[in-house]
Structure 1
Amino acid sequence: MTALLSVSDKSGIVEFAKGLLNLGYEILSTGGTLKVLQENNIQALDVAKYTQSPEMFDGRVKTLHPKIHGGILYRRENAEDRVKAQEFGIRDISLVCVNLYPFKATIERTEDFGEIIENIDIGGPSMVRAAAKNFESVLILTNPADYNEVLMRLQNNQNTLEFRQKMMIKAYEHTAHYDCTIANYMNKRFNDGFGESHFIAGKLVAPTRYGENPHQKGAYYEFKDFYSKTFQTLKGEVSFNNLTDINSAVKIASSFGKRPCVCIIKHANPCGFALKDTLIESYIQALKCDSISAFGGVVAVNGIVDLELAQEINKIFIEVLVAPQITQEALALFETKKKIKLFVCGGDYLEIPKDTQDFKHIEGGFVLQDSDSITENEVKNAKCVSKTQASESQIQDLEIAYKVASFVKSNCVVYVKNSAMVAVGMGMTSRVDAAKAAIKKAQEMGLDLRGCVLASEAFFPFKDSIEEAHKVGVSAIIEPGGSIRDEEVVECANTYGIALYFTGKRHFLH
């Protein structure tokens, strides 16, 4: 029995090789893997000696040889194949352990294109694909996490066809993900990220109980390692819908850096937000915006949840709480609430990967775009187009309202007063209807909008939204501008003494 070992990730390879030797395998190996094995007194045959063909071109060619691929690919049940293998002295390579050059790690570390090119593996994917193709006779491994199980199965005669089929699928996933990463990188480097093909490749983190509804299967995946390393479940089981809501909540809260804000989400839209001096004050003020919708919602806290804050949160039913840290005292208190789910995300503050591209599924395909974001000085550099100018505190409220509005389904408007959201209208077919809906909800909640500011993620097509804002005492407005009726809108703002700012950038969210 012959095993071929050639790995870039050398973790666990020494112990695995020892296990194979104890099972009676002879080992073929190459380059760095061979060196590690020899340094650990593990007997292995150099592939170059076996093939009688030296490594060439600084290692670009070393396993591309009939004695390697023939040993992997020949059909054991085919008499002619067996004769041919014997004729040319081709070993029966029944186990292949290969993982690939670290292309992904290289592009994250350097822009040196020469180094990047040299970290595109050729022989590795060829061996993996060959072994996977011949899975009926060959066991293929691409992940060190599988070494222990493989040794156990070999020791107990459990190297079944079903198991080899499972490993074959893993192998093709490995090479597919590798090729997708290379193709997407090259398109990013040479085609601004939009090539003839675009590939979406993720690693399974875990299945969810179901999808959006119980009759739908579901699971969640990650592009890098954010959810497997940075996102942790402390209590409960995360659902498909929890994940999408957590994503919305953390995106909003983390966009305010290290400031102690709290965001409350219901069905992917914010129903509460505040940025006060303390987290407990932020939570109390955020809840006031719409305590009815907050029931059963998702709360993102941009800081440590201590016992005092936990006691406040515990006063109503919150389905999901996510924060960078939750103290042991707070955890003990939450244990008394059976249905609350607790997650930590980030270090000292909430974090999110901030992908550079965004896509949405459409039937038969998907649409792809650069990810949207509000630049650091977008509000600061907004142009005052009215006679009245906003005060410093109003500018702070405008920044909060504008940032939150960029994460709210269009058409939307967001009202903020004293660093807390006091009304929100979202997902409406008419912007003035969004304004009216927000005002009506605020009135139902008993909130005083006088003196608040207003943000819209897109321009006001008519002055009617300004008129509605004036009725409830809005003092300042921020919007992109760009309507053919901008002059009419500005004139209306001047009539009512409202400070009006244009940013010049729209933030639709559909």
Structure 2
Amino acid sequence: MARALVSVSDKTGVVEFAKGLEALGFEIVSTGGTLKVLKENGVKAIDISEVTKFPEMFDGRVKTLNPYVHGGILHRRDLEEHVETAKAHGIVGIDLVCVNLYPFKATIERTDDFDEIIENIDIGGPAMVRSAAKNFNDVIIVTDPNDYVPVLEALKNGQNTLQMRRGLMIKAFEHTAAYDSMIANYMNKRFNEGFGEKQFIVGNKVFNTRYGENPHQKGALYEFDDFFSKNFKTLKGEASFNNLTDISGAVKIAAAFGDENAVCIVKHGNPCGFAIRDNLIDAYVDALKCDPVSAFGGVVAVNGVVDKALAQKMNEIFLEVIIAGQITPEAQEVFASKKRIKLFEYGSDKLIVSDDAYDFKHISGGFVYQDADKVKEEEIEKAECKSKRQASEQEMKDLEIAYKVAALTKSNCVVYVKNSAMVAVGMGMTSRVDAARCALKKAEEMGLDVTGAAMASEAFFPFRDSIDAAAAAGIKAIIEPGGSIRDDEVIAAADEHDIALYFTGVRHFLH
């Protein structure tokens, strides 16, 4: 008779699975709470203590760490010596192990009680999972309730193949690796400010992208927790690697203003249009004015619901991607004839941004890791006015928009905003002066009047030349971090030109 060991923290579907195994002739061995649930539901399960010939002890800390358990799992059925040793010691083979681990994540989210957290670090569970995974040639290891039905079907149909067991083995090692990574990261966060000797970045695969940045590269999307699985919905098309990075940038900007009707247009990771208006159609129209040439084939993030009227307006040019809180069925119909457009939504009234605590970037030979950068509302609200002139209410709104967009735009960058719409942007430059000039030149080409606009820089101006250039363009308000050894010259220049100048004291480089 085949034997299965079933011991799970997540008891979803476990009764049905155990009954299915019983029907196939498996003898069920179980532990603790799982044993109780199985017996209450009519499964003839054997207590693990009957197998180990030893009682559970130390409040359940030791119950499966025993040769009768691990010998039953690990001995190789193809080696006569292993089989004879098992017989000699009365070790019965365990042919299927169904285990998932103590809810460590749920515990650290629920409590800061370190004693309780320690007790929710599973020891016997990972040991059994690893034993079964190591011996996948002979043993089936099941760690995911989603695999219960496929495994039962395979057993019913005589398809207990090496390929199936190998797939479950890989999943099992992923399971224990992710679990141990979570514990190590938590301990480093608690005791080493999140920066220990090892840093583990673990994501769950959502889907393969068609390819990476270029056709010769493979690519895939991985998520933290269930962010994309729960929120991100594909309505039309297939998200590429580059689409996903552009979507991330566009959504961060469009969602940075709460519930306001914001629209952001991104091309190659950088914003080329942004506006906030009383309605989304006006926001889109005015965002498009900033750089309609770059917007062609771009990514548009809409902080709200795309309805039929907005869809018809957007459908006037070629857009590659639209991402919104929701896109109504009527709006989707407007885009139906466009083969190349891709539509995605979050299934919500507004865009959703994951509040990641950390950020990292690959560099040759490793990665750099840091606290995630976020613009705090008080940076703008408590920005210090350094000039004689103070900004008007509308200018303060423009400064807020310019500052937040600048923080999410590749450095060096300068952003110009007028009446809650971006009118010029210069980004990714080696010189801040070049960024300012490039932005103004582009605005002139687009026929956009920047007179009276607000300007933001994500880092300090090292010289007064940028202020002089801004004044020549008609800029009336500037926000920047400050901190240059020539701040006094910059402030003096602002006063000479009657420009309102604000320092936030916080730099937001993005490389």
Residue 355 of structure 1 corresponds to 356
Residue 92 of structure 2 corresponds to 91
- Give the residue type in structure 1 aligned to 2:253: I
- Give the residue type in structure 2 aligned to 1:189: R
Residue 467 of structure 2 corresponds to 466
For residues 308 and 110 of structure 1, the distance between their equivalents in structure 2, rounded to whole angstroms, comes to: 48
Residue correspondence of structure 1 range 307-326 to structure 2 within 5 A = 307-326=308-327
- Give the residue type in structure 2 aligned to 1:321: I
State the secondary structure of the residue aligned to 2:381.
coil
Shift of 1:440: 0.6
For residues 346 and 454 of structure 1, the distance between their equivalents in structure 2, rounded to whole angstroms, comes to: 35
Shift of 1:231: 0.5
Residue 336 of structure 1 corresponds to 337
Residue 67 of structure 2 corresponds to 66
Matched, 1:75 2:76: yes
- Give the residue type in structure 2 aligned to 1:71: G
Q: CA RMSD in A?
A: 0.9
For residues 468 and 66 of structure 1, the distance between their equivalents in structure 2, rounded to whole angstroms, comes to: 78
- Give the residue type in structure 2 aligned to 1:496: H
**CA displacement, residues 20-52 of structure 1 (integer Å, 9 cap, x when unaligned):** 111111010111111111111011101012212
Residue 4 of structure 1 corresponds to 5
**CA displacement, residues 439-463 of structure 1 (integer Å, 9 cap, x when unaligned):** 0100111000000000000000111
Shift of 1:347: 2.0
For residues 337 and 80 of structure 2, the distance between their equivalents in structure 1, rounded to whole angstroms, comes to: 69
Q: Which moved more, 1:474-483 or 1:56-65?
A: 56-65
Residue correspondence of structure 1 range 154-193 to structure 2 within 5 A = 154-193=155-194
For residues 377 and 47 of structure 2, the distance between their equivalents in structure 1, rounded to whole angstroms, comes to: 56
State the secondary structure of the residue aligned to 2:274.
strand
State the secondary structure of the residue aligned to 1:45.
strand
Residue 239 of structure 1 corresponds to 240
Residue 203 of structure 1 corresponds to 204
Q: Contact (CA 8 Å) 2:181, 2:200: kept in 1 or not?
A: yes
- Give the residue type in structure 2 aligned to 1:108: E
Q: Contact (CA 8 Å) 2:233, 2:347: kept in 1 or not?
A: no
Residue correspondence of structure 1 range 15-26 to structure 2 within 5 A = 15-26=16-27
**CA displacement, residues 218-272 of structure 1 (integer Å, 9 cap, x when unaligned):** 0010110011111010111010000000000111111111111001110010000
Q: Which moved more, 1:344-353 or 1:149-158?
A: 344-353
- Give the residue type in structure 2 aligned to 1:319: E
Residue 108 of structure 2 corresponds to 107
Residue 394 of structure 1 corresponds to 395
For residues 374 and 230 of structure 2, the distance between their equivalents in structure 1, rounded to whole angstroms, comes to: 25
Residue 370 of structure 2 corresponds to 369
Shift of 1:87: 1.8
For residues 280 and 108 of structure 2, the distance between their equivalents in structure 1, rounded to whole angstroms, comes to: 39
For residues 364 and 153 of structure 2, the distance between their equivalents in structure 1, rounded to whole angstroms, comes to: 45
The sequence identity of aligned pairs, in percent, is 67
Shift of 1:467: 1.2
**CA displacement, residues 129-168 of structure 1 (integer Å, 9 cap, x when unaligned):** 0001111111111101111111111111111112211111
State the secondary structure of the residue aligned to 2:370.
strand
**CA displacement, residues 75-122 of structure 1 (integer Å, 9 cap, x when unaligned):** 212222212211221111011111111111221222222221111100
Residue 140 of structure 1 corresponds to 141
**CA displacement, residues 259-305 of structure 1 (integer Å, 9 cap, x when unaligned):** 11001110010000001111111111100000110011010100111
**CA displacement, residues 182-223 of structure 1 (integer Å, 9 cap, x when unaligned):** 000110111100001000111110100000000000001011
- Give the residue type in structure 2 aligned to 1:296: G
- Give the residue type in structure 1 aligned to 2:100: N
For residues 449 and 476 of structure 2, the distance between their equivalents in structure 1, rounded to whole angstroms, comes to: 13
Shift of 1:336: 2.0
Residue 493 of structure 1 corresponds to 494
For residues 418 and 159 of structure 1, the distance between their equivalents in structure 2, rounded to whole angstroms, comes to: 66
Q: Which moved more, 1:340-349 or 1:13-22?
A: 340-349
For residues 458 and 241 of structure 1, the distance between their equivalents in structure 2, rounded to whole angstroms, comes to: 27
Q: Contact (CA 8 Å) 2:308, 2:328: kept in 1 or not?
A: yes
Q: Hey, which bits of structure 1, 4+ residues long, moved more than 4 A? A: none
Q: Which moved more, 1:12-21 or 1:240-249?
A: 12-21
Matched, 1:438 2:454: no
Residue 479 of structure 2 corresponds to 478
Residue 378 of structure 1 corresponds to 379
Matched, 1:125 2:126: yes
State the secondary structure of the residue aligned to 2:506.
coil
For residues 289 and 283 of structure 1, the distance between their equivalents in structure 2, rounded to whole angstroms, comes to: 11
Residue 277 of structure 1 corresponds to 278
Give TM-score scaled by structure 1 length. Answer: 0.99
State the secondary structure of the residue aligned to 2:242.
helix
Q: Contact (CA 8 Å) 2:211, 2:219: kept in 1 or not?
A: yes
- Give the residue type in structure 2 aligned to 1:359: F
For residues 428 and 311 of structure 2, the distance between their equivalents in structure 1, rounded to whole angstroms, comes to: 32
- State the number of aligned residues: 510
For residues 113 and 225 of structure 1, the distance between their equivalents in structure 2, rounded to whole angstroms, comes to: 26
For residues 32 and 98 of structure 1, the distance between their equivalents in structure 2, rounded to whole angstroms, comes to: 13
State the secondary structure of the residue aligned to 1:129.
helix
For residues 373 and 479 of structure 1, the distance between their equivalents in structure 2, rounded to whole angstroms, comes to: 16
Residue 216 of structure 2 corresponds to 215
For residues 137 and 155 of structure 1, the distance between their equivalents in structure 2, rounded to whole angstroms, comes to: 17
Residue 228 of structure 2 corresponds to 227
State the secondary structure of the residue aligned to 1:436.
helix
**Gap runs ≥5 in structure 2:** none
State the secondary structure of the residue aligned to 2:402.
helix
State the secondary structure of the residue aligned to 1:242.
helix
- Give the residue type in structure 2 aligned to 1:494: D
For residues 265 and 347 of structure 2, the distance between their equivalents in structure 1, rounded to whole angstroms, comes to: 18
- Give the residue type in structure 1 aligned to 2:148: Y
For residues 229 and 27 of structure 1, the distance between their equivalents in structure 2, rounded to whole angstroms, comes to: 35
Matched, 1:150 2:154: no
- Give the residue type in structure 2 aligned to 1:2: R
State the secondary structure of the residue aligned to 1:243.
helix
- Give the residue type in structure 2 aligned to 1:33: T
Residue 424 of structure 2 corresponds to 423
Matched, 1:13 2:14: yes
Shift of 1:346: 5.4
Q: Contact (CA 8 Å) 2:141, 2:172: kept in 1 or not?
A: yes
- Give the residue type in structure 2 aligned to 1:467: D
For residues 276 and 297 of structure 2, the distance between their equivalents in structure 1, rounded to whole angstroms, comes to: 22
- Give the residue type in structure 1 aligned to 2:92: R
State the secondary structure of the residue aligned to 1:324.
strand
